[in-house]
Structures are given as structure tokens and as C-alpha cells.
Structure 1
Amino acid sequence: MKKEIFRLQNGMIRQGKILRGPFFLQFCKGEISGIITDDSFEKEILVNFFSCRNTFESGDFYYNGKRIPFELQSNTIMKLLSQTVAVISRKPRLFESLSLVDNIFIPGYLIKREKHKKTATRLMEFFDIEIPLNTKIRELTLLQRLQIEILHAVACHHKLIIISDVNGMLRSKERNKLRQLYERLTQIGYSICQIESLNNIPLNMLDLIQVIEKGKSVGCYSQAEVEYSDIACMVNGTAHHESYDELLKQMSKKLFSGFKGTILELKDICYEHLNKISIKLYKGEIAEINCRTGTDYLEIKHLLTGKVSPIAGQFFYNGQARNISVLERGISKWQIGCVDFSNQDHLLFENLSIIENVCYPLCLRNAHFFMNKNYMKVAEDYIKMVMPDLNLSKRVKNLTQEQVMQLVLCKWILCKPKLLFLFISSAFLKDEPDIIMNRIIVELSKYGIPVLIISEHDRFESEIIESVYIINKGMLINADEDK
């Protein structure tokens, strides 16, 4: 059983004249937890509390499993927080006037000065951090600044490290690097707590999920106890039937008419390791091909993008027998959508604005597209509808991983391709598919656009999937047999 560091029960926190709570928050050694709220003011109140900048008004406060008596709370809680908790946020806390090494060991009494460089080098080697010791503070990237602040917390023996609202400012590779650092810290007894918005935190990386909505705790769960859709409803303050279930109901409300047969069919397709693969994709259908091995995934990917031709079998497109190279031509002409989430850093163009990125396929198909302000307004209105919290003037390089993925799907809603492929590698599947992505995929299907998700190793695991094909070692197996 993990040893408890802090616990708040029915805690009320005051900031100026504003009182928030009750809060139930728990932190244990060797644990990665998350406090999830989409309200920036709630994040600020919690950050200020752990930074000793506001007051614990009432409630029960436990330290190492022992309750702090009410009459001692005012002084004791602040002392314990300052000695045990490190708070890291978007606001830099490093001193540009000091060297990198001095920033790690400030105040100076933490360790003898002549041992600073040697100890800093050992810490960086242990935590796999690659930053030259002579780097100036102002030259550090955000990731490097976070790493140095974490090393400072380790030097101060702060066993609980609070990291607030930084994931949205990091690239996917940087976030993965930070996750590895968190895991190493928990292995030696530190506790990590991330205060983040729902779309900026991977739930499957958390031991404990704590949800706050309208200034109070509304849930505390282990990873296995709660689904992403449930947390989305809690964070948004909506009932489950008003959100995710409504989304599933929309799938039966198809807005297209006319031809309703198969858009894509593979019949007894063989290619190297693949043996007699047969798959049908109907108009407006959401289907998934789950490849259990990397070889299966790559071969299916190359076939569906028209880069290779099968050695046996038949291929049908729009109900007609065709050469599979028609897919490659369709992708190059933006008539078939193809999104590869394994290359997330190149899904959008950094030299274009958000609106220009979303309109990019349309501007290639329609001359003088950007001169028509009505088109641009339609794109802007749609993005505001599905992503109301997104600042459209934000630079692409500053978007979160989830925002990039959502915008990529938005552009295909506007472009209306004949077919959309989503290639999802095992690295992406470490994160949960969010409600916005599911909503956009369902909307594509409503307009008759079939969506085929090709996943590697693990399933996409979404209730919106209508048909599942599982390929293991070149053979197509029944989904029921796989369970």
C-alpha cells in the first residue's frame, strides 16, 4: 500500500474574498496523479494554495496519515507545504542572474558549493537529462526549464511536485520526455501531480484521477474506475446522456442520400505476409482495422495508400473493380483524406494560420479560395463551434497535441473527401481518444464519408466504431474470437 503524503477532506480554500471548495485531494508517494479542471481560475487557486499564497479556511488536513488539529492548521499547513511541496507552472522561477547549477542548488546551504557541478552532473545522468551545465538560463527551452526546476525540487527534498498547465505548451516528443522523468521520480518515492485541462493530460498515465468542476471536487478515481467520457461530462458539468450518449444517437441520423453501397472493398487480398484479407467499407461507416503486429500495420498502410500492389485478390472502389493505385491518386488530389498520427509534428503547417491550415485542402481544389471571405468565415465558424476555447490567433507551434489532431479532422469535414483513412500507431494509442475527436468522426460519417481507422497493436477503443477487422500475423481473425 502506498504511503500517503497529504490529504484534504472537505477543504475550503480562500483567495481574497473568494471561497472555493469543498476539495478532496490525496497524494501518495511513488504516484503520478492528475487534478483535472478546464477552469483557469480553479488552477490558479490550487497553485496558489500549494505555493502558500492563499489560505486553508476550513476542513480536515492530513500529513503522513495524521490529522492536523484545527487550532494548529494556520501555521502548520503552510510550513508543511513549503517544506514538502514544489510548484512548477508556466511562470518561470529560475534566476537569470545565476548559473544553471546555482539555480538547482539555491539556497546555497543545500550542499557544499565545491560539490555543486559534480552533483548536478550525477543528477542529470540519473534522470537522463541532456543540458550542458554552462547553458544560460535565458537560452533554455520550456522543457529544459521544467527539467531544471524539477532538479531543484529534488535537491530541496520536496517529495510532492505539482506541475500546472504546461502540457499544452509542449510538443508531443517533449511531453513523452517529461513523462519518462515523472516515472523515474516515482520509482524513487517522489509524488507527481499534474493540474491540467482534460484535453491536455493522458488518463492512462495516471494512478489517481481527481476531477474539479465549479470550484469543488466532483470525483476521485483510479485509472480503472472511470472512462474518459465520464470525466468529460463531469468537467463540463453535463449529464452523461446529454453528451456521449447523444453523440452515439447521432450516428443513426445520416444526412446523405443516393448510393449507399460499398465505397471500398478488399477481396482475398494477398501481399507478402498478408493472406486472403477481405474487408468492406460502406458509405458513412466508421470501421477499424486493428493490426496486432508492426508488420501487419505497415503492409496494410502501404496497400491502402496505393504505394504497393497486392500479389493476389481483387480491389473495388465505389462499387467498381479498380487498380489499387487509384487510392494513391485520390490521396494526391485530396479526394481521399489520409491522416497519419504517427507523424504528429507535420500534420499542420507552422507557416500558415489555424484557419489557413483548416482550409488547405479546399484551397488546392478551388482556385482563389483564400480570396473568398465567405469560405474563410465558414471555416472559422465551424472551428468555433467544435472547439470554443481555442484562440484562433494562436500560432500552430503553440497548439497542444489534442488541438492539432482535432484541427486536422476539422479540415476534412470542410473538404468532404470521398473516404478518410486515419493511421494510428501504438505511440498515439497511449492517449485516450477524446470526445471532440469522436464527435468530428461521427459528423464525417453523417455526411456519408466513410472513416477507416487503422490501428497498431492496441484497439482505438471507442463506442463509435461500427465494424472491427483484426489482423494478426497476416491472417484476418474474428473480433469475437480475439476476446
Structure 2
Amino acid sequence: MKEELFRINHGTLTYHNRMLIENINLRVLKSETHGIILDSTEVKNVLIKLLCGELKLSYGKVYIMENLIKDADINKKLRNHVALIDQTRHLIPTLTIYENIYFSQFHILYLNPKHYYKCARNLFEYFNIDIPLDKPVKDLTIYEGVVIELMTAYALERKLIVLSNITNILNSIEVASIFNLIDKLKKKGLSFLVINNIEDMKLRYTDRLTIIKGGNTIGIFDSKQINKDTLYRIFYYDQENTDIQHRYKYNNNSSNEIFSVHNLTDDILKNISFQVHKGEIVRILYTDETSVNRLISVLKGEHTSFVGNILLEGHNFKPMYGYMNYKNDIGFVEEDSIERMLFKNLSAFDNLSYPLSNKVKWFWLKNRYKKSMEIQLQDILDPEKLKHTLSALSPDDQLKIVYCKWLLYNPKLLICVKPFSVADAQNQLTEKLITLLSERGIAILIITSSWPSFSSINGKILYLRNGVLENK
């Protein structure tokens, strides 16, 4: 398994009083060529500034070499690890090629120019580059300029190289040659982010592909499993986009199916059928209370007089009475969850430990479990807050505990009942927590009558009306 080089988790960024990046998740592996396609030049420019350490996230986490970077250090770390190659030449035209490559050692370069000339010559021989080292930079072709900038990034020991729109300024032979050089650099541990519009993205030269639409990451794909026709459908057709995302991301085959309902029928519900796959988010929007109350009663095991089948990982499933179905690897987040699902007089740690303590034998007697919890949640909750009583925590921290206890427990399916309200300041945080659970592979079923106007959650939407479940 490849090591992770760089990651952004749930990034948002407001630029000139506008939220251009709403929810970006990006993960680049070591020695990987990772493509990014965006639908907005403005978002692309802001993302590049972010990657190069010129802007900071308004919200979110940045990891380099799997280490969380402190907010105060992010810009410096990115400037030291990331190089940008785009249509603007970043070389000094008055210097020669080898002087540009080793310009970071400028203070000693002229004390021993022969040494650095030799270093550059050895570098060119190793990578089979046939460009005269004494050639003035101002005389380089566009292709040669890209080659020299790649060599400069390598000499500067940059780990991540961002290539923005270079394929549309080179001919096909030059593009092939550049990516042949990139393959050699990947063997040296470098990673590459290729940012392009949909028309100019060369899928065959990338390993994976992230699609960003409307400032949100809507899918991460294996480049070998997607084609331009699918990309056009994702970008230019609103219908079925999220189904495409999940079909590729989770491969939606029977081995990934976690939970399914088949032809569920009683005096209110009529032939209800749906599936939820590993890591998938499925939304059921309802219009009448009678239908949804009955469906929830069935899922909780409160109502058992029905025909049809309910399966968990392909096996017959009989819900246990009550919302704590943890013995069957199903969890619930109830409406008004902070008031109904947390114990205000207990500590944050005690709240997080339930229902995990029912799953792990001798949980309360072994201190290592507490330490493990602290490490798992350190990017979400300050470990110091775990000892505080729940009433001493902010509403946001209390909401995090609602979802983090299921993150720790890791059920196969989490059912969220009415998690949003029309005007709730916590809706954005709720979305981020639900998305985090989904990214950990937990199947999510959301049952609600309302949906935030600016939601970044993607996934299948089903509609429950008068006992009938439809996809439109």
C-alpha cells in the first residue's frame, strides 16, 4: 500500500468575502500522478494558491506525510514541499539553466560554479535530458522550460509538483515526453497534481482523479475505471451525478452492499425497496409523518407486522427493539440528538464510551482504550475536553460527541433521523461529521423532511410519499 504524501480534510475557504471552496477532500499518495478537474477557473486559481501556501483554509485540516500540520505552520510547510508549473515561466531569464536549477544555493553557487555545472550535467544524464546546460533560459522553448522547471523542483527537493494546464500548451509528442520524465521522477518519490479542464485532461497519464464541482469534492476515481463520457455526464447533467460518483467510488456490487430492504409492505408501506452500500450516503426525503414514522418503527424493531425482507450484509436481519441496535452493528442518531442521546451529567469521555463499552470486553478496566480514543479523535475533539462534563462543553462539541461515539464504535450502518433543521447554525458541522463517517466506510441512511439549501453532501436521493418510495 502506497504511503500518503498530502491530504486536505473537509477544507473550506472564503476568498474576498465569498466561499469558493465549500468542502474539498483531497488525498495524494507518494509517487502518484493525481488529476484534478474543476468546473470553475476561480476555484482552480484559489486552490492553486492554497496548495502553494499563499492562502489558508477557513476550516479544515492539512496533513503532510500523514502528520497533521498546525494552522500557523501550513503556509511555510506547503511552500517548502510544493512546486507549481503552469503557463507562466518561473525561471530567471538572465541566468543559465544550471544556475536556475541550483539558484537556492546562490550564495555559494558562484564560489564553485564548476561543481554545480557538473551536478546539473549528471542530473541531465540520469534523466536522459538533451538540452544544453549553457543555453540561456530566454531561448528555451515552452517544452524545454517545463523540463527545466521539473528538474529545478527535483533539485529543490520538492515532494509535490502541481502542473496546471500544461497539456494544452504542448503538442502530443511533448506531452508524452513530459509524462515519461514524470514517471522517472515518481520513482524518486515525487508526486504530481495535474490540474486541467475536462477537455484537456489526459486520463491515461494519471493514476487517480478527483472531481471538484461547485467548490465541493464530488468523487475520487481510479482513472482506469472512468472515461470522458462519464466525466461529461458528471459535469453537464445534474441528474444521476451522485449515483455515478458512488458507483465508481464504491463499485456498488453485492460485496459492498451493507443494508437492503426488499418489498417491505404492511398496512401503510407499499413495496419499499432500497440498498445502502459501504461508505455510501442514501437520503430518504419524506412528505408525510405517517409513512416515515412507520418506516422508522420497522428499522428500530418496534413494528414487526410486515412482509418483505431486510438484509444486513446479505443475511436476514431482525431489528432489535429500541434505537440501540449496536448488537446488530446498526446505530441511530435521533432527531434533537444532543438532548435525546447524551447524558449531560456525565463526562464527554463517558458519553463517547457508550455504546463502545458494550462492544469491547473489559473496556472500563483498561486505560489503553481511553488513550486510543484520544488519538483517534484528536483532530476532531481536544483531548483535554474529554474529562469535562457534557454541560461544560459548547453545542458544537456536544454535537461532535453524538457522531464521534459512532465513529469509535464503527457500525456497519448509521441511520440519521432528521439531523437537519431549516435554520440551524450547526447544519454545516453535521454535514462534515456525516461525511467523515461515510469516508470511514460506514454506510449512512439519512431520513429527513428538510434539507439544507447549500448542502455539500452527495448521494442517492429517494422520496417517501404516502407509503411509496420512489427515486423522483
Please, what TM-score do these two structures have when normalized by structure 2?
0.48
Please, what TM-score do these two structures have when normalized by structure 1?
0.47
